[in-house]
Each structure stands twice: as C-alpha cells, then as structure tokens.
Amino acid sequence: LLQEVQPVIMSLLPLKEAVRTSIVSRSWRTLWRFHCNLCFDGPNDPDSDTDDEFAGQDSTKMKRAKFIETVNSVIQQHSGIGVNKFSIRCGLPKEDSHHLDRWISFATSLKAKIIHFDLIIIDWPLEEVHHFPLEALDAQGGSFVQSLFLAAVSIPHSGIRGLTILRRLVLESVQIFGDFPGLLAKCSALEDLEIIDCSGVTNLSIPHKLDKLRHLLIDSSTTDIEVVELHAADLAHFEYKGRVIPIVLHGCSKLEKATIMFVDTKALAHTFTAVPSILPVRILHVQAIISKYAQLQKLPTIPEGMFMNLRHMTLIVEMQMTIMKFFN
C-alpha cells in the first residue's frame, strides 16, 4: 500500500519539499526524481536587508549563483520521465545564457506541457535579454506545449510549423521580431492570449480566425500598438489597457465581459464608442484618466439601444494631478 501511496504524496508536494523526502528512508530516496512539476523561483530584487548598494548586489549575485547550481543539480538527477511543468522565475543576466539554453533544451526534450520562463530583473535594461528559441517547441517530433509564459526575452522570427495544441500564451515585456500575426495564426487551439508591454508589434491585425480564443488581454500602455483587429467567434472576455486606438473584434457575439482602461487624458469622450465590438457584453469595466475637472462635463451619455445586454457596469475616472514648483 505504501508503494502505491508514495507517488501520490510526491505529486502533491512542491519540488523543494519533494527533494527533502529523500532523507526520510531508503524507499523515498529516489522518488523525487520522478516529480512532474519542476518549478524554480530565484532572486529577482536587490537584497533589501542592507543599505549598502554594492553589498546588496553581491548578495543577489551569490543567491543567483546558488539558484543556478540548484537547477542544474535537479535536472541532472531527474529521471526525465513524466515532466508536466517546467518553470523558471529568476532574472538572469545575459552572461548566464548558456544555463538558460540548457534549461530550455531540458524542458523541450522532455516535452513539458507547461513551460514558464519569467526572467524579469528589476531596473534592468530590456535591451539585454535572452533569445527564446520558439522553434524548439515543435522540433521534437510535433507540437507538445499547451501553456507558454515568457517574460523579458526576445522571440526572433522563426519558421515554425505551428504550436497546434497551445491553449494559453502569455508574453510580458517580450521583444517580438518577425510576423507575429502569422505566428498566432499557427496556434489554432489558442484559448487564452495575453500580450503585456511587448515591443516590436504595432499592427495586431490577425487575418486568420482564432475560433477557440475565449480570453484576450492587451496591455500596450508603454508600447506602440496602433491597431487591433481579429476574428474570434468564441471570445468571452476582452481586456485592453492603453491609448485610444482602432479595435475591431469581428464576430464576437459571445462576448460577455470587457475591461477597458485608457491611459491618455483625452480619452474620456471615447469611453463608450472606442470599442464598438463590446456592445453585446453583460459586464463592463471602464477606467479613464482626466487632467481637469471640466472634462467630466463632456462625458457622453450612452445612446439609446446600446449595450442592450448590459447587467453590470463600473466606471472609474481618475484625476491626473499636475504638480508645479516655483522657484525664487
């Protein structure tokens, strides 16, 4: 009975706790090597326990070196069987690219279904980022990844055949090169798409239908996306944060919830007209910024007949205060 229960217990433990079970008894010693979720969280922020900036940086470097050593040790000892998730959450300088390449190779060679690489370093220039080889995700005898999260990397143009079973794609602070709409067209099973502060894409017009897409989040508050247009018949939840731009969602009759946040101070007048595709929603959250109180008087009324299905609406208007300093 114990032999049957042990793997179940092991699968429920975080990786760190699973490794610790190796000291319990001889029968537990090697069980962690079959753990299906390999999730590693390392240091990202400078050490806050010291006021000395350089001492804090040295401490962070030591922690990062220990983190790299731990990851390499685990993947070297792991059985390589049954890996479901491989996750790295640690800011890595570019000089550590060879370690990252090894970890990516490990995750893709074992065909992990969930791959998560969050490499954001606080106050680190995003020009110095790692290249993530998307082609590695379909070079192992067919597509295998179902969920992909990438942060603070670049994805160069590559002629991949398609991530045909990818259901969730999250890109945060990613430098995108090449034909991104063409890449999305190859993700025919995509249900959840989040694009957050990514550079390299100004025109997000996707001519191909994303028939299974149910959730779309676009945060372009610090980037230059100029237009969004796509066909998504099953889209149920749409979120947008950024400037007022043309947004066209074709055939989204199943859209139930929309969240719109405008970051420019002159967008209030476009509150209800900027995204005509959201008219069928039942739940609407809108947030806008104004620079002077008089703009509230220009808040448009909702024309009769619009938002016929609306059951709940939240409207938040923030006043942007300008602080002026006078010197003698």
Mean pLDDT of 259-266: 83
Distance separating alpha carbons of residues 31 and 25, to the nearest angstrom: 11
Question: Is 264:243 a contact under the CB 8 Å cutoff?
Answer: yes
Confidence of residue 318 (pLDDT cuts 50, 70, 90): confident
Is 139 a domain residue?
A: yes
> Which pLDDT score, from 0 to 100, does residue 165 have?
92
Do 3 and 72 lie in one domain? The reply is no
Is 122 a domain residue?
A: yes
> Which of 180, 201, 222 marks a domain boundary?
201
Do 26 and 115 lie in one domain? The reply is no
Domain coverage including residue 14: 1-35
Is 45 a domain residue?
A: yes
> Which of 201, 226, 246 marks a domain boundary?
201
Is 110 a domain residue?
A: yes
Do 13 and 134 lie in one domain? The reply is no
Do 48 and 180 lie in one domain? The reply is yes
> Which pLDDT score, from 0 to 100, does residue 327 have?
40
Do 62 and 79 lie in one domain? The reply is yes
* Order of strands across the sheet that contains 237-242: 37-41, 85-89, 114-118, 147-151, 168-172, 192-196, 215-219, 237-242, 257-262, 283-290, 312-319
Is 316 a domain residue?
A: no
Three-state secondary structure of the chain? CHHHHHHHHHHHCCHHHHHHHHHCCHHHCCHHHHCCEEEEECCCCCCCCCCCHHHHHHHHHHHHHHHHHHHHHHHHHCCCCCCCEEEEECCCCHHHHHHHHHHHHHHHHCCCCEEEEECCCCCCCCCCCEECCHHHHCCCCCCCCCEEEEECEEECCCCCCCCCCCCEEEEECCEECCCHHHHHHCCCCCCEEEEECCECCCEEEEEEECCCCCEEEEECCCCCCCEEEEECCCCCEEEEEECCCCEEEECCCCCCEEEEEECCCCCHHHCCCCCHHHCCCCEEEEEEEECCHHHHHHCCCCCCCCCCCCCEEEEEEEECCCCCCCCC
Do 23 and 50 lie in one domain? The reply is no
Do 46 and 164 lie in one domain? The reply is yes
Window from 162-176, 212-226, 259-273, 277-291 with minimum mean pLDDT = 259-273
Counting every residue written for the chain, the total comes to 328
> Which pLDDT score, from 0 to 100, does residue 136 have?
86
Query: Tokens representing 124?
Result: 């680190």
Distance separating alpha carbons of residues 327 and 307, to the nearest angstrom: 51
Q: For residue range 91-104, what is the model confidence (pLDDT) as tens digits?
A: 888 888 899 999 99
Is 325 a domain residue?
A: no
Q: For residue range 162-210, what is the model confidence (pLDDT) as tens digits?
A: 788 999 999 999 999 888 888 898 898 999 999 999 999 899 998 888 9
> Which of 185, 201, 217 marks a domain boundary?
201
Distance separating alpha carbons of residues 289 and 225, to the nearest angstrom: 19
Do 144 and 191 lie in one domain? The reply is yes
Q: How many domains does the chain contain in total?
A: 2
Is 41 a domain residue?
A: yes
Q: Is 256 exposed, middle or buried (0-12, 13-18, 19+ CB in 10 A)?
A: middle
Q: For residue range 64-88, what is the model confidence (pLDDT) as tens digits?
A: 999 999 999 999 988 888 899 999 9
Question: Is 86:119 a contact under the CB 8 Å cutoff?
Answer: no
Q: For residue range 280-295, what is the model confidence (pLDDT) as tens digits?
A: 899 999 888 877 766 6
Do 23 and 107 lie in one domain? The reply is no
How distant, in Å, are the alpha carbons of 65, 119, 214, 246, 272 from that of 217? 35, 21, 10, 15, 19
Q: Provide the whole-model pTM.
A: 0.85
Do 22 and 41 lie in one domain? The reply is no
Do 3 and 46 lie in one domain? The reply is no
Do 22 and 52 lie in one domain? The reply is no
Is 187 a domain residue?
A: yes
